[in-house]
Amino acid sequence: MSKTITIDGKKIPFSEGQTIMEAATEAGVYIPHLCHNPDYEPHGSCKLCTVSVNGRNCTACTFPAMDGQEVISESRELEHDRQRITQMLFVEGNHFCPGCEKTGNCQLQAVAYHLNMLDNHFPHFFADREVDASHPDILIDHNRCIFCTLCVRASREKDGKNVFAISGRGINKHLIVNSASGKLGDSDIDVNDCAAHICPTGAILIKRQGYRIPIGQRIYDHKEINEVALEQEREGHGG
């Protein structure tokens, strides 16, 4: 007989070694997330997928599913926490959606829509962050980096290059590039690398294609991220 967990009262089967997130995704249950992508090692940094497991909070993307677990994901408290976490991401960086070419295709924005986030609640940091346009085909706008490390993982795990890393702690945390100058243009990243395409926000962009699909006709202009994520991630591709 297969082992099961329950998520919000719904019985969900899982196979040995699966995380709660993997079991949920396979069963068509969406748990909000940003740093999780099924194609990469879990990182557990964004904390959006925080769920209550047998009364204790933990991240669904890193916590193993175990027989008989009672998982709560859609409680009022957890949804409130997720909204606050997303608001913190917005005020820590400089996310000006009307001026960002990723708008409508941005997972950070889409998660915020999904959580019905109408304001940023906290005072804004307006942190000074740089733009690195030194690469001929790829742009980094550090204003939009949420430190999900998907580019770090993609470069290491898929591209075999180790182009990116996170340096510093707390407010001094920042994305660094593995080149003598620290500039992307001097690194060995290529426009076809997975790391160049994995960013969930507008922090890493491919140049000269930002407005090919007009605003208003983009992914999350019409579809909620829960539908999109489940469609893509159940097939085993994180998009």
Partner 1 sequence: MADKIRVATTSLAGCFGCHMSFLDIDERMLQLAESVEFDRSPITDIEHCTNCDIGLIEGGVCNSENVHVLREFRKNCKILVAVGACAVNGGLPAMRNHIDLEDCLKEAYIDGIGVENAQIPSDPELPLLLNQVHPIHEIVKIDYFLPGCPPSADVFWKFLTDLLAGREPELPYELVHYD
Nearest to 238, CA basis, from 148, 165, 167: 148
Q: Judged by CB under 8 A, does residue 124 bind partner 1? A: yes
According to DSSP, residue 49 is labeled: T
* 207 vs 223 by CB, closer to partner 1: 223
Amino acid 206 reads: I
The residue within the footprint of partner 1, chosen from 17, 55, 123, 214 (CB under 8 A), is 123
Q: Judged by CB under 8 A, does residue 237 bind partner 1? A: no
DSSP 3-state of 232: helix
The residue within the footprint of partner 1, chosen from 136, 181, 215, 237 (CB under 8 A), is 215
* Dihedral sign (CA 149, 85, 60, 223): negative
The residue within the footprint of partner 1, chosen from 113, 194, 230, 238 (CB under 8 A), is 113
Q: Judged by CB under 8 A, does residue 16 bind partner 1? A: no
| Interface segment toward partner 1; rule CB under 8 A; list 76-84, 105-113, 132-140, 164-172 | 105-113
Task: Determine the Cα angle at 210 with ends 205 and 214, to 5°.
Answer: 145
Which long-range contacts (C-beta less than 8 Å, at least 24 apart) are formed by 53-62? 53/20, 60/19, 60/20, 60/21, 60/24, 60/31, 60/33, 61/19, 61/20, 61/21, 61/33, 61/35, 61/36, 62/19
The residue within the footprint of partner 1, chosen from 6, 28, 80, 126 (CB under 8 A), is 126
Kindly identify the residues of this chain, within the stretch 82-101, that bind partner 1 according to CB under 8 A.
Answer: 90, 94-100
Q: Judged by CB under 8 A, does residue 226 bind partner 1? A: no
What character string, x for contact with partner 1 (CB under 8 A) and - otherwise, covers 37-76?
----------------------------------------
* 29 vs 112 by CB, closer to partner 1: 112
Whether 117 and 79 have beta carbons less than 8 Å apart is answered as no
Least Å distance, CB 60 to partner 1, is 23
Q: Judged by CB under 8 A, does residue 119 bind partner 1? A: yes
Q: Judged by CB under 8 A, does residue 213 bind partner 1? A: no
Whether 108 and 147 have beta carbons less than 8 Å apart is answered as no
The residue within the footprint of partner 1, chosen from 2, 9, 17, 128 (CB under 8 A), is 128
Q: Structure tokens of 177? A: 């590039």
Helices (H) and strands (E) in the chain, counts: 6, 10
Q: By the criterion CB under 8 A, which residues form the site for partner 1?
A: 90, 94-100, 103-104, 109, 112-113, 116, 118-121, 123-124, 126, 128-129, 215, 221-222, 224
